[in-house]
Every structure is written in C-alpha cells, then in structure tokens.
Amino acid sequence: MYLGGNNHNHNGTVIKKTLEYMRFSFVEAGNLIDRLQRRSFWRLAMKSICDPVPAWQQIQNKMRVGFDWLATRATSGIATLLLLALPSVNTLHAEGLVYDESDQWQEGSTAELWQCNLRENANFTALKGVVDSWNAYADAAGWADYSAKLLTPIFASDVDLDTTVYWYGKWSGSGGGADIDALLKSGGEISSQFQPVLACSSRILFGGWDVRAELDSDSLDSSIITMADCEYVSDWDNQRGLLKTKGDDDLAAANRQLNGFLDKNEAKYNITQLWPWMGRSKDTLNENWDIKWMEEYTSAEHLVQSELSAAKNGIFTLESNVLDPVVDCKDPEVFSALTIRTQQ
C-alpha cells in the first residue's frame, strides 16, 4: 500500500495541533486575568476582612499559578516542535503497518475526488452526454484500470443540493500516473467538453484501502455512498510532554476488529478509507480531517437496514471501545452514486 505524503500530513497535523494548543494556552491566560479582574478581585476583597491573607496577595498567588501552568504548556509545545524536527525521532507512527496476510485490503489503491457544480443552464442529462464521450476517449487511451462514479447529495450540508456533483474515480493498482500523462498530452479536446457543463473547485488525489469489499461495486449501476470526514485522535502525554496522535497502524488494528464484528453479523456492504495525497489546498488543511471514510450500499433501504442491524447487535459498543479512541468522525453525508465507468 502506498499512502504518499501521509507522514508529512500527520506531522503537519501535529504541529498545527501543538500550535493551537499553545495558542489556546495563551488565550486561557488572558481569560484567567479577565476572571481575576472581573470576579476574583471583588470576591477576595470581600473575604479579606476575615481572611489573614490579603486579597491582593491571593490574586497574585492565583496569577502566579496560572502563569506557571501556561509556561509549562508552552514549553511542552515547543519541545514537541523540536522533537518533530529531528529525523531520528518519530512519535507519531510505528515503523510501519503490521501486515497480516489475511488483511488483503491493506494492499491499497489510488483514488481521485472532484468537487463540482453544474453550470447555469446545464443539467445532468448534458453531463451524462459528455461522460459518454469521455468514456470513448478513455477506452481508446487504454484506461483499463480505472472506474468512476458520479455522486449527487441526498443528505449533506454546506453544498447546493441541486447542482453539486462529485466525480469519484479509482485506480485499483496502476496508480493512475500513465492515464494522467495521456490525458495531459492528448485529452485537451475531451476535457474542454466538460467546461460548459461543470465548474469544479477541487481535485484531490488519495491513497487508500478497501477495508471491506462485500459488494462488486462495478456491477452496480447505481448505489448509495456515505462519506464522513475523520480525524486521528490526539492526546497529550503529560509524562513525556508530547502530543500523541493515533496513526495508520492503530486504524489497521481497529479495522480488524470492525471486520470481525461485521463478518459475525454478515454485513454486506463496502468500506473504503482514503488519505489525501496531492491537491489538498491550504484552505482545506484548516478543516480538521485526516481520512475520508466511505461506505457503499445497494440502496437507501440497504443502508437503513444495515444500520439498524448493526445497532441491534452492538455496533455502538464497538465504536466506543475500538473506533472512537482512534478516529473522531463527523456525521456522514449521503450520496446517490451512478456508475459511469468500470474497470476493463
């Protein structure tokens, strides 16, 4: 499995979290002073009549404790940044994923996700017409290892439900480099046909793995796909003064337990986990997610019944004990998926 740039991504995440932690510490110090000025001063002033320690000295003592606490947090944060700069020290990951031959899903794949909107006066019928032309180009160019789906939102936030379209493409083994080269050299005409129909704001290349593959995705003309943003859980290690972040090896261990539970309950749906590799902008880096967690079902009814069955059989306990300590996932958005290309 290749998850190019993943360590850099996690290091960046940890540095960002550490700086946020330090920033929150300074904010807390300001709040401390504000509380002392607005509340503690008057409360302590009233108590000073019968308290042998003067009010001003109590305030001073509280401020000293507060700033000692701040200094400890800030120093620990700086220490974390320095340690991350040393190539011989890696507090985020083990030497690598512990590969189990039964974990065939760890072999990985490459995927791309375009976020687009239909242009004014364009419609889905026009888009499908361009897709047909694009498929003819892909056949001639030998894109045998590529499959793709168009995703339109059913339940989602902060998107235009009427015009939003995601293009979700996937290479099973080749990585897609040769296909992208061919498109750059000879795909200008077909690419131009999308311009009057779609306006796309982002294209991100992912590395990932199919954690569970109970459905033949290519054989489904249409399906339901859920997609959730997940962030690796970080905890402050007081003894070592470091921010410890869960990583791929922790998720792999959780995936094994999740698959064991789903096997026992004969769950028949797909799970894919994707890590951003290339194309994630500075703006999207401010969004706190490390992984796209995707699931595919044959229909909305299949999704609902699968959720009800999992809840009845104890999925919430598994999530609390196994998944929640590793990844913090937002509520999933739900999409209608139309298969537009299958692997040859």
Query: What is the pLDDT, as a whole number, of residue 10?
Result: 44
Query: What is the pLDDT, as a whole number, of residue 120?
Result: 93
Plot region of 115 (φ>0 → left; ψ -120 to 50 → alpha; else → beta): beta
- Tens of pLDDT, residue by residue over 37-79, are 433 333 333 333 334 444 444 444 444 444 444 444 444 444 4
Domain end point (choices 57, 85, 113): 85
Note whether residue 152 is domain-resident: yes
Residues 150 and 207 in one domain: yes
Element (H, E) at 111: strand 109-118
Strand partners, 213: 270
Residues 124 and 79 in one domain: no
Residues 243 and 154 in one domain: yes
Note whether residue 90 is domain-resident: no
Question: Do 145 and 331 meet the contact criterion of CB atoms below 8 Å apart?
Answer: no
Residues 149 and 241 in one domain: yes
Note whether residue 99 is domain-resident: no
- Domain count for the chain: 2
Note whether residue 93 is domain-resident: no
Note whether residue 202 is domain-resident: yes
Short-list 182, 162, 160, 156, CA closest to 171? 182
Find where tokens 């002033």 sit. 45
Query: What is the pLDDT, as a whole number, of residue 319?
Result: 92
Query: What is the pLDDT, as a whole number, of residue 125?
Result: 94
Note whether residue 129 is domain-resident: yes
The enclosing domain of 160 has a CATH number of: 3.30.70.100
How many CB atoms sit inside 10 A of residue 186's CB? 12
Query: What is the pLDDT, as a whole number, of residue 183?
Result: 86
Residues 243 and 289 in one domain: yes
Plot region of 5 (φ>0 → left; ψ -120 to 50 → alpha; else → beta): left
Task: Report the C-alpha dihedral over residues 19, 21, 22, 23, rounded to 10 degrees.
Answer: 80
Residues 59 and 159 in one domain: no
Query: What is the pLDDT, as a whole number, of residue 173?
Result: 73
Domain end point (choices 18, 50, 85): 85
Residues 119 and 81 in one domain: no
Task: Give the domain range for residue 155.
Answer: 104-341
Plot region of 125 (φ>0 → left; ψ -120 to 50 → alpha; else → beta): alpha
Query: What is the pLDDT, as a whole number, of residue 315?
Result: 92
The Cα 7–Cα 322 span in angstroms is 23
Domain end point (choices 50, 85, 120): 85
Note whether residue 286 is domain-resident: yes
Residues 137 and 270 in one domain: yes
- Tens of pLDDT, residue by residue over 107-130, are 678 999 999 999 999 999 999 999
The Cα 15–Cα 81 span in angstroms is 6
Q: What is the distance between the terminal CA atoms of the chain, rounded to a whole angstrom?
A: 22
Residues 132 and 195 in one domain: yes
Note whether residue 80 is domain-resident: yes
Extract the tokens encoding 197.
Answer: 């129909």
The Cα 135–Cα 95 span in angstroms is 42
Residues 204 and 233 in one domain: yes
Residues 129 and 60 in one domain: no
Residues 117 and 176 in one domain: yes
Query: What is the pLDDT, as a whole number, of residue 300?
Result: 97
- Which residue positions in the chain have pLDDT lower than 50? 1-99, 101, 105
The Cα 146–Cα 179 span in angstroms is 9
